[in-house]
Amino acid sequence: MSDAFLSSAIMLLALALFLSDRIRPDAVALIVLMLAWVTGLVSLEEALAGFGSPAVIIVAAVLVVGRAVEFTGAAQAMTGLFVPKVPFATVRIGGVLLMGAVLSAFMNNIAALAITMPIALNVAREHNLPNGAVLMPLSFATILGGMTTLIGTPANLIISSIREDTVGEPFGMFDMTPVGGALAVAGLLYLMVVGWRLAPRREGGDEEDDSKRVLVFELGLPIAASQGQMRMDAMRRKLRESGAVLLAVLRNGHRTRLESDAMLFHDDRLLVMSRDYPWEVAERSGLFSDAPPERPDAVTAHVSVIHGSSLIGQDYGAVGAHSGGAIEFIAAGPRAARMKRPLQANQIEPGEQLFLRGEPDAMGRLIRHARLLEVDRDAAPIKPGRSAALVVAIYALAVLVATFFGIETTAAFIAAALAICLLRLIPADEAYRAIDIPVLILLAGMIPVGRAFDEAGGSSAIAGVLGWMLSGAPLFVTLAVIVGVTMLLTIFLNNIATALVMAQVGVGAAAALGISPDAALLAVLIGSSCDFLTPIGHQNNLIVMRPGNYRFRDYPKVGLPLSILAILVSAYVLSRLYG
């Protein structure tokens, strides 16, 4: 059996597993990596070489440095620079989008969204706009910003490593800036002027308003329950009249099923869902809430837990522990309603919604340090100090030495991450938590598989077909097709897998057509990040889906014109640069 057949079969299996979404992407990468080794396509040393790839190491270093920018409040301090206090909604929304794009050029896209999302929601509230008017454009802006630098997204680093394999030299820090920057400017102008107006103005979602929010909490029973005077059916009616729904009766720490005429005991707990706060429901129903009435010196925040939060895997009591008791957990979100078990038995997961209460400064610190997205309250004022200034200086120095002094980008950012940790600008456990292990495994596993596929002739065969189809076509058309095909593939695959497959195909097509390999690689770079049509192709699109109350079909309304713009602008700029 030929190597070309084996490598093609393994790559097709990888694509099928990615598309099925039944197995985690990092697990898929390890499965196909093991298959490549077992079948002899790669040696053990070659299989493990991906874990030492500069692309993998620099992703880890950039995540640590970007987390330090987020952790110290340095990025939030730029709000005044980008979002001026003017009465024009278009200007202020444009400022938020620009801020998101700039941040995502130099840090993880999800972190850039986490920093700018509360600012965008605040702008929307001040101008009486629903969340949906600003969140989808903001997600698209962070995607656009990631195309402008080498470290903007891991896919850029993958394409750079493939250039090193084929041309002998990786991309520089700003080699993609001419085309990425032109597209970012054009895309931001579209989003600022037209795009945010096309976004759905549907009320609701996870917007924090009295008619739409969903809180899940526990209530205690009054003394009457111990006297045999409270029945299930009467309690259900009482809670309904108080604006709440009884989800479950908790007895001895477990959910118990009771008939409608069953009696309730004094030590039973009621799991309740409502749109009101626990103390409000307790007062109306005559029950008891663990959360005392709202304090004038405290704020209540509705937050969402994002990937990398230190709260993930812990119970709700961890909120108090992480804040030194300054913040208390008030209620959970819809996930707890589906689980219908004691809240103390639940573990916090990514994407979960929490309702917290505490002093504004303490709330702001917890939200930054625990990586939470705040969706219903003005961001707490941030006073960045010496730590924030040092982190920005170290980050800027790493970019400068990598760009102008010939220092390897990998070495520059490893040094920056190390300096940040040694100077204790970020706690050691926070630095390790910032590293997205599944992404690193995905990269490390797929790099050797991609190389084997290329060396066995699989990418050359696909490139030959593409070259035959585009033979004699103008450079603009050729590049537009490469961008468009890559863009279609990234709708179904994550952008790392798309970049691995299409970058090698692009290099082969460039050789067959006699065009610059850099032009083809940069076309793939643009296409692999441009998923503006679905909520599933990019994590940021998925994050804003619930807060913006979007539906699947909403994304093309804003994203289709932007996708067409991306194809035309990138193909034009690249054809001018390499024609």
Walk me through the domains of the chain, giving residue ranges and CATH numbers. 3-204+411-578 (no CATH), 215-289 (3.30.70.1450), 299-374 (3.30.70.1450)
Q: Report how far residue 176's alpha carbon sits from residue 454's, in angstroms, rounded to the nearest whole number.
A: 24
* pLDDT score, position 209: 42
pLDDT digit string, tens, across residues 478-487: 999 999 999 9
Q: Report how far residue 285's alpha carbon sits from residue 289's, in angstroms, rounded to the nearest whole number.
A: 11
Q: What is the band of 82 on the pLDDT scale with cuts at 50, 70, 90?
A: confident
Q: Indicate the range of 44-48, 218-222, 295-299, 441-445 predicted with least confidence.
A: 295-299
Mean pLDDT, range 250-256, rounded to an integer: 87
Whether the Cβ atoms of residue 343 and residue 332 lie closer than 8 Å to each other: yes
Instruction: Give me the helices (H) in 146-277, please.
Output: 154-167, 177-190, 196-198, 232-241
pLDDT greater than 80 at residue 76: no
Neighbours of 396 (CB within 10 A): 12
Locate 391 and state its tokens.
């982190």
Q: Which of 440, 275, 263 is nearest to 355 (CA)?
A: 275
Neighbours of 285 (CB within 10 A): 22
**215-220 and 288-289 as β-strands: parallel, antiparallel, unpaired?**
antiparallel
Q: Report how far residue 426's alpha carbon sits from residue 93's, in angstroms, rounded to the nearest whole number.
A: 31
Mean pLDDT, range 217-241, rounded to an integer: 79
Neighbours of 404 (CB within 10 A): 9
Residues in the chain: 579
Whether the Cβ atoms of residue 310 and residue 360 lie closer than 8 Å to each other: no
* pLDDT score, position 208: 41
Computed over every residue of the chain, the mean pLDDT equals 85
**Report for 101-110, 425-434, 570-579: range of highest mean pLDDT:** 570-579
Residues 6 or more apart in contact with residue 458 via CB below 8 angstroms: 4, 7, 8, 11
Residue that is written with structure tokens 């110290």 in the block: 72
pLDDT greater than 90 at residue 111: no
Q: Report how far residue 170's alpha carbon sits from residue 149's, in angstroms, rounded to the nearest whole number.
A: 13
Please indicate whether residue 526 or residue 550 has the higher confidence score (pLDDT): 526
Instruction: Please tell me the pTM assigned to this model.
Output: 0.70
Percent of the chain's residues with pLDDT above 70: 92
* pLDDT score, position 263: 83
Mean pLDDT, range 426-431, rounded to an integer: 82
**What number of helices (H) and strands (E) belong to the chain?**
26, 9
* pLDDT score, position 181: 96
* pLDDT score, position 101: 94
**Which backbone phi and psi does 178 adopt, to 5 degrees?**
-55, -50
Q: CB-hemisphere CA count at 13 Å for 318?
A: 16
CA–chain centroid gap for 288, Å, is 38
Q: Indicate the range of 319-323, 497-501, 517-521 predicted with least confidence.
A: 497-501
Rounded-to-5 percentages of helix, strand, coil across the chain: 60, 10, 30
Q: Is 268 helix (H, G, I), strand (E, B) or coil?
A: coil
Q: Which of 275, 279, 298 is nearest to 290 (CA)?
A: 279
* pLDDT score, position 376: 67
Residues 6 or more apart in contact with residue 377 via CB below 8 angstroms: 118, 208, 299, 300, 301, 302, 363
Locate 157 and state its tokens.
């680093």
Q: Report how far residue 277's alpha carbon sits from residue 21's, in angstroms, rounded to the nearest whole number.
A: 37
Q: Report how far residue 372's alpha carbon sits from residue 368's, in angstroms, rounded to the nearest whole number.
A: 7
Strand partners, 353: 304
Q: Report how far residue 531's alpha carbon sits from residue 486's, in angstroms, rounded to the nearest whole number.
A: 10
Torsion region of 536: left, alpha or beta (phi above 0 gives left; psi -120 to 50 gives alpha): alpha
pLDDT greater than 60 at residue 381: no
Residue 146 DSSP symbol: T
Q: Angle 437-455/495-513 helices, nearest 10 degrees?
A: 30
Q: Where are the beta strands (DSSP E) in 205-268?
A: 215-220, 244-251, 254-256
